[in-house]
Amino acid sequence: MKQGSMDITALVLAYAHAEPPEDVCAVMRLSVLDWAACGIAGHQDGAFDSWAATLTGQGAATRFDGRGSALAEAALVNGTLSHALDYDDTHFAHIGHPSVVVIPAALAVAEARGLPLEQMVDAALVGAEASVAVGLWLGRDHYQVGFHQTATAGAFGATVAAGRLLGLSAKHMRAALGLCSTIASGLKSQFGTMGKPLNAGLAARTGVEAALWAQAGLTSAEDGLAGPLAFGATHHGAGADVPFAWRMGSVSHKFHACCHGLHAVLEAVRDVDLSGAAQITVHTHPRWMTVCNQPSPDTGLGAKFSYRHVLAMAAHGHDTGDITAFSDANAQDAALVAWRDRVGVEADDTLTEMQARVVVDGVVYTHDLDAPLPFDMRQDRIHVKARALVGARADEIAQAIEDDDLPRFAQLLTS
């Protein structure tokens, strides 16, 4: 741990009680729509049906699978299902998926308390901001050594979101963060398996449980984040200085149904005919080499983490924005498997994590995901994506968000 670093717990508490600016709230509302569409589609995919059926706790909290359950269990199911397709938003400041953790926690508590959707959005936003701040404080070594920031930093964001809606005092919020610190977990070794989306669900559940338990009087270490033997010290945290700032305005929404680390490459060659290419070399930031560079995936999940396979898909006319394209059959398709041998992947530390350079038979194509996306364009692309995932229901969900109608919004999540 870096000595003399800023008080991360005080920073998180500042987010918990802050009033977010409207322009960032507008982006968060788009993330709520995006999250809902991803979760509905994740449930409809059916891969987690048997698992979800084992979770039979009694309660009225809404779940994507239509079962009512207790708050923490609903957060677990909704967090997992909304990340099941790996099609949800990403914040590259710390390489984490904030919405799939904080929105399920906020929804469960907001429903239970009969609060308006606007308050749920505000809570989800400050929770997301807290998760990004904690992720920045932990630093990239925490991620590189094998921890999954979506789950580790995200659990603290979910705690903030749930605690805000429960009206926790600063004292009780601090206790909730301490309780979260002894539960939060998640490993990158799960990438490419069903354990990755489960990480998000477990983090959402942790946030709800930590907040409820603190409200009930359960005590914890005074500083579970930065204190002696606390989360940062025991989880390879760097203890970086992190200023208060609103960062969710720059969250990246996915328009390809795979790991976000692959998107700059796919955008770079979006208008390029790859079918006849003899040699393709992908240049990417070194950090992505351990995240989405599976050389020979044989499952649809694994294909979502493979430069070689997504380029083979693009070369053969498969729409990488179509979740159904990432199937086991396509991952094992002989033509795709043979074609991906044309692709080489090289680490390049002159690139940022948002950039890619693709050389196709000597011709260079580049893309930078950090290039600003105008709000109207972002809105349009998210609405198109949501309709592609859930049909006309996307427009009804968007209307419920605009109308601040939480009961209607929750009703539309179930199929």
* Per-residue model confidence (pLDDT) at position 260: 84
Whole-number pLDDT of residue 55:
96
The pLDDT of residue 2 is 39
Confidence of residue 44 (pLDDT cuts 50, 70, 90): very high
Average pLDDT, stretch 79-93? 94
With CA atoms as reference, report the closest residue to 261 among 360, 157, 143: 143
In the chain, what percentage of residues exceed pLDDT 90? Answer: 91
* Rounded Cα–Cα distance for residues 176 and 317 (Å): 49
| Other Cβ atoms within 10 Å of 396 Cβ, number | 15
371 burial type by CB count under 10 A (0-12 exposed, 13-18 middle, 19+ buried): exposed
Query: Considering only 22-26, 203-207, 297-301, which range has the smallest mean pLDDT?
Result: 297-301
Q: Which residues of 245-280 are buried (b: 16+ CB within 10 A; e: fewer)?
A: ebbbbebbbbbbbbbbbbbbbbbbbeeeebeebeeb
So what's the pLDDT on residue 20? 97
pLDDT (mean) for 40-45: 96
Residue 271 tokens read as: 């208008």
Look at residue 25 in the predicted model and tell me its pLDDT: 98
State pLDDT tens for residues 155-214: 999 999 999 999 999 999 999 999 999 999 999 999 989 999 999 999 999 999 999 999
* Cα 358 to Cα 344: distance, rounded to the nearest angstrom: 10
What is the per-residue pLDDT across 338-348, written as a single tens digit (0 to 9) for each?
Answer: 999 999 999 99
pTM over 0.75: yes
Cα–Cα dist 224/61, whole Å = 29
Mean pLDDT of 135-140: 96
